[in-house]
Amino acid sequence: MDRFYSLDHASIDFHFRQTPRDFVVEEIPLYEFSGEGEHLVLCARKKNLSTLELVAIIAKFLGIQNKEIGYAGLKDKHAMTVQFISLHKKYEEKMESFSHDDIKILSKTYHNNKIKIGHLKGNRFYIKLKKVNPTAAKKIDEALKNIADFGMPNYFGYQRFGNDGDNHIDGEKVAKGEKKERNPKIKKLLISAYQSHLFNLWLSRRLEINTLIKNFSLRELESVLNMPNDEVTKLKAQKHPFKLISGDIMEHYPHGRLFDFDGSQEDISRFLARDITVTGLLCGKKVKPSSGIAGVIEKEFDDEINADGARRYAWIYPTEIEGRFKDMEAQYEMNFTLPKGSYATVLIEEIAKRKITE
């Protein structure tokens, strides 16, 4: 898809490749582990391995099933990542002799419960960009400041769509019963890719609307957007780069309940203050659709499929953002923290204003 971006600058030229030297991820647990209990919690560092491969290697070493090992999230394969896994305390002694070239156990503790999917607060990233000249470095500085001030769109990254980037095509067929997939995990993965694809298309459309609002007059926008003049006037007056539309479904940030945006100035101010944010649709059953003008836009990217739907933050706020330009090496180093479910590669693409997989 041709994606709209949130930042104004022209495309920035630099080289990025997802490798353990240039892409480092550290998981931030949802809560502090108790230090006691029947579950052994290991802090594991891996490189060039997916989380599922990490789990499979340890499970094979212990002679147990993969499902006996708990983890909070799937970490990138082509990276150096640190994450927490849990297993029963009875395997602690055997794990003392565990050794693998691409896995290192950094520390251990204990907890009362098994780690489950989603039990993480977010992830801390270290990224290195190469072939960066001084002019590009200044543009990256400005882009990072803008993201620190206003946040960024929460697209699904290219990792979501498979090696060839087309998992959503089969996902649509599976979701509509036009193609069978007997493996439940693969079926879920494919359907999720289709939901993610539609979400990305919707989010790109909303960013396109933001761009139009910024660059056209009220008179021009009324016909371009096919919206009432009073709605366009309200959108034009909003200070945030992502414009809230009547009928949007908001959610407290970084977690909380969903509620309808009614155009109130109070909610616009809360959005600017990062107390709430806007959500987008992951199509399916048992999910609340947006209404009003926002609902008309969302409906274009909705679909009836045999899967449960959900709502996802459309706009997020990276924190602890740091940037350093190393002139002699022509490199730019970044550190930042993202909430769970968000992609560092999306932030890099926002800065570059182009795909980074080409």
CATH topology for the 152-316 domain: Pseudouridine synthase (3.30.2340)
Q: Which CATH class is domain 8-22+121-150+320-358?
A: alpha beta
CATH code of the domain made up of 31-118: 3.30.2350.20
Which has the closest alpha carbon to 156: 313, 317, 284?
313
Residue 164: band (very low, low, confident or very high) from pLDDT cuts 50, 70, 90:
confident
pLDDT digits (tens, 9 = 90+) for 238-276: 999 999 999 999 999 988 899 999 899 999 999 999 999
Is it true that 8-22+121-150+320-358 and 31-118 share their CATH fold? yes
Contact 39, 89 (CB under 8 A): yes
Q: What is the C-alpha separation between 350 and 334, in angstroms, rounded? A: 14
| Burial class of residue 106, CB neighbours in 10 A (0-12, 13-18, 19+) | exposed
pLDDT of residue 1: 55
Of residues 144, 65, 122, 152, the one with CA closest to residue 346:
152
pLDDT of res. 358: 52
Q: What is the DSSP string of 25-83?
A: EEEEESS---S-SSEEEEEEEEES--HHHHHHHHHHHHT--GGGSEES-PPPSSSEEEE
Write the DSSP assignment of 225-285 as a string of letters: HT--HHHHHHHHH--SSSPP-TTPEEEESSS--EEE----HHHHHHHHTTSEEEEEEE-SB
Q: Where are the domains of the chain?
A: 8-22+121-150+320-358, 31-118, 152-316
Please provide residue 89's backbone torsions phi and psi, each rounded to the nearest 5 degrees: -60, -20
pLDDT of residue 182: 87
Cis upstream peptide for 254 (omega within 30°): yes
The pTM of this model reads 0.92
Angle of the 344-352 helix axis to the 134-150 helix axis, nearest 10: 120
Phi/psi region, residue 153 (left: phi>0; alpha: psi -120 to 50; beta: rest), is beta
Mean pLDDT of 11-25: 95
Residue 222: band (very low, low, confident or very high) from pLDDT cuts 50, 70, 90: confident
Query: Which tens digits make up the pLDDT trace of 29-79?
Result: 998 999 999 999 999 999 999 999 999 999 999 999 999 999 999 999 999
pLDDT at residue 348 tops 70: yes
Residue 147: closest CA among 346, 330, 358: 346
* pLDDT value at residue 73: 92
Which residues are annotated as catalytic? 76
